[in-house]
């Protein structure tokens, strides 16, 4: 237990830029929470962020892009069982159900209000969808229940020890865990990205959360350290200016 307590504390000290992050990168980090993560923020503001995420996902083609990436991961499975964690609005699950004729989706989020809104829409009545409240850090499902778990634009919400727990839990309940998140670009580029967003942050909740997401997103080396902490194998793609993609599997004993 002593070892576990020490390991948790140590991983939580890791900068979002990874164990060897530069001094500048360490400055481009914050403990401030996004509106979505705060209990003192009204539901109207939070729903506006979720609606904006759904709209931008459709308008800029990310929902389709992410659905393609997810389906590639289960291309060999005839009737895949897919778990979406942190679904927010359910747009990705809806696309997966539209595109795959036999996939079964479990659409989940930790936020009861989001789960209720998803269940009240078309996904709540879809014959191949189940809508549930699930915390990605403590997934209420038996080992090996799913072929794929996906966690999109959500991983950065969690501090390192909880993020590592998602890696362990996701790879316990699913053969593979697909994480797609904002990239953490090299510091000069990161500063430019932040500078374009900051002027709008006080006025537009979606941009406010975007700035904090950018400061909290994990670098490739941080993702590797988290996977190591969770005893998982990780394969990374993209991530310079395109979204960071991580495919995580339970580490096979060698």
Ligand X SMILES: C[S@@+](CC[C@H](N)C(=O)[O-])C[C@H]1O[C@@H](n2cnc3c(N)ncnc32)[C@H](O)[C@@H]1O
Cα-Cα-Cα-Cα dihedral of 242, 35, 117, 248, to 10°? Answer: 40
Task: Detail the DSSP E strand segments found in the chain.
Answer: 81-85, 104-109, 129-133, 146-152, 174-181, 232-238, 244-250
Provide CB contacts within 8 A for 100, sequence distance 6+: 71, 80
Counting contacts by CB under 6 A, is residue 17 touching ligand X? no
Give the distance from CA 19 to its chain's centroid.
21
Which residue of 114, 214, 217, 244 would you call a contact of ligand X, by CB under 6 A? 114
Nearer to ligand X, 74 or 153 (CB): 153
- How far apart CA 67 and CA 180 sit, in angstroms, is 11
Nearer to ligand X, 62 or 219 (CB): 62
- How far apart CA 192 and CA 114 sit, in angstroms, is 32
Minimum Å gap between C-beta 3 and ligand X is 25
Q: How many CB atoms lie within 10 A of CB 31?
A: 8
Minimum Å gap between C-beta 112 and ligand X is 10
Counting contacts by CB under 6 A, is residue 97 touching ligand X? no
Q: Token pair 């307590």 is at which residue? A: 5
Give the distance from CA 90 to its chain's centroid.
13
Per-residue contact track with ligand X, 53 to 82, x per CB under 6 A? x---x-------------------------
Counting contacts by CB under 6 A, is residue 157 touching ligand X? yes
Which residue of 154, 171, 214, 217 would you call a contact of ligand X, by CB under 6 A? 154
Provide CB contacts within 8 A for 121, sequence distance 6+: 90
- List the one residue out of 64, 132, 62, 146 whose CA is nearest residue 103: 146
Minimum Å gap between C-beta 171 and ligand X is 15
- How far apart CA 83 and CA 150 sit, in angstroms, is 6
Nearer to ligand X, 19 or 132 (CB): 132
Minimum Å gap between C-beta 176 and ligand X is 17
Does the CA dihedral 13-34-190-135 come out positive or negative? Answer: positive
Counting contacts by CB under 6 A, is residue 86 touching ligand X? yes
Counting contacts by CB under 6 A, is residue 248 touching ligand X? no
Counting contacts by CB under 6 A, is residue 167 touching ligand X? no
Nearest residue relative to ligand X (C-beta): 88
- Taking CB under 6 A as the binding criterion, the range among 117-125, 150-158, 170-178, 215-223 that sits at the site for ligand X is 150-158
Counting contacts by CB under 6 A, is residue 109 touching ligand X? yes
- Taking CB under 6 A as the binding criterion, the range among 19-27, 72-80, 152-160, 234-242 that sits at the site for ligand X is 152-160
Nearer to ligand X, 2 or 40 (CB): 40
The contact set with ligand X (CB under 6 A) reads 36, 53, 57, 85-88, 109-111, 114, 135-137, 152-154, 157
């Amino acid at each position: 237990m002593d070892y576990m307590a020490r390991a948790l504390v140590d991983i939580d000290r890791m900068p979002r830029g990874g164990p060897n992050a530069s001094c500048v990168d360490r400055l481009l980090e914050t403990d401030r929470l996004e509106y979505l993560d705060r209990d003192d923020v009204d539901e109207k503001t939070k729903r506006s962020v979720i609606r904006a995420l759904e709209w931008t996902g459709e308008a800029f083609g990310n929902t389709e892009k992410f659905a393609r990436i997810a389906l590639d991961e289960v291309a060999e499975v005839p009737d895949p069982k897919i778990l979406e964690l942190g679904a927010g609005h359910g747009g990705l699950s809806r696309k997966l159900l539209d595109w795959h004729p036999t996939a079964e989706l479990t659409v989940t989020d930790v936020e009861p209000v989001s789960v209720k809104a998803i269940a009240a829409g078309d996904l709540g009545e879809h014959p191949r969808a189940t809508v549930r409240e699930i915390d990605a850090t403590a997934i209420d499902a038996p080992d090996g229940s799913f072929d794929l778990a996906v966690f999109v634009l959500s991983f950065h919400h969690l501090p390192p020890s909880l993020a590592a727990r998602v890696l362990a839990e996701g790879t316990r309940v699913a053969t593979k865990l697909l994480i797609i998140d904002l990239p953490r670009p090299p510091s000069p580029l990161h500063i430019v990205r932040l500078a374009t967003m900051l002027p709008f942050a006080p006025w537009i909740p979606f941009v406010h959360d975007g700035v904090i997401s950018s400061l909290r997103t994990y670098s490739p080396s941080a993702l590797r350290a988290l996977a190591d902490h969770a005893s998982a194998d990780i394969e990374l793609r993209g991530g310079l200016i395109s979204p960071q993609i991580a495919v995580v599997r339970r580490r096979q004993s060698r």
